[in-house]
Amino acid sequence: MNRYPATLALVVATALGQAAFGQVAGQPAAPAATAAPAARTAPAVHTAVIDVGYIFKNHARFKQAMDKMKDEVLQAENVLKAERDRINGLMEQLKGFNVGTPEYKKLEAEVAKAQGDFSVNAQLQKKDFMDREAKVYLQVYNEIERAVSHFARDNGIAVVLRFDGDPVDATDRNRILGSITKPIVYHDPQIDITADVLRMLNGAAVAGATTSQSKPLR
């Protein structure tokens, strides 16, 4: 996908000569030339688009973090399942005692405590995983923002708009409604910087962001 160059388009300042003229015999030296004003960087004027959803789906470290968390969730579910089975076993044992007997009351209290602990532990684990998931999303999104900012500065891009590049599923009502309310109706494929930013994030030759092979936007 041919997109923006990684070299920043700068206005080259024209240096003014500051060497003093040779002094003519009997004549005072000519006054020094006034220093030229500092060169100014050309303002960013270009616009680009990026598919953030695609970035998340293909961000290598994000996928690794999510896969690791899925494994941990599965392990936690197995532990909870084992505890649930144990509680169900206690409830079966409870049926073998006469209601009101000391043995019944003792086992009943044990079941009630186990059920309460199970419910609390399940809720705490769910909250912990949701909090950790949110932190991973935030961390990666901040990383995406930094990469986009870096790429935009290097390529004279003033605005980067978000768009959804997934095709519309005609059987999905929410996708249809989302597609007809999207802010970007059309964009030139040449201004899509999704793949460029994804390469930076996945560590695929980050140095390529400054290679001389790239050309500035025109």
- Which tokens sit at 118? 């199970």
pLDDT value of position 45 = 63
Let me know if residue 38 belongs to a domain.
Answer: no
Q: How far is CA 129 from CA 50, 78, 126, 217, in A?
A: 29, 15, 5, 43
pLDDT at 174 over 90: no
Let me know if residue 22 belongs to a domain.
Answer: no
Residue 110's domain spans which residues? 46-210
pTM over 0.75: no
Q: Determine the Cα–Cα distance for residues 145 and 136; give it in Å rounded to an integer.
A: 14
pLDDT at 205 over 80: no
**For 120-135, what is the mean pLDDT?**
97
Alpha-helical runs (H) found in 97-191 = 102-154, 173-180
- Which tokens sit at 124? 């705490």
**DSSP label at residue 192:** B
**For 179-185, what is the mean pLDDT?**
83
Let me know if residue 69 belongs to a domain.
Answer: yes
φ, ψ of residue 210 to 5 degrees: the values are -125, 20
- Amino acid at the residue 202: N
Let me know if residue 39 belongs to a domain.
Answer: no
Q: How many domains does the chain have?
A: 1
Q: Which of 7-21, 33-47, 73-87, 195-209 has the highest mean pLDDT?
A: 73-87
Asked if residue 217 lies in contact with residue 157, where contact means CB atoms within 8 angstroms, the answer is yes
pLDDT value of position 18 = 36
pLDDT value of position 63 = 95
Question: How confident is the model over 17-46, as pLDDT tens digits?
Answer: 333 333 434 444 444 444 455 445 556 668
Q: How far is CA 205 from CA 142, 153, 197, in A?
A: 20, 18, 11
Q: What is the CATH classification number for the domain harbouring 157? A: 3.30.910.20
Let me know if residue 6 belongs to a domain.
Answer: no
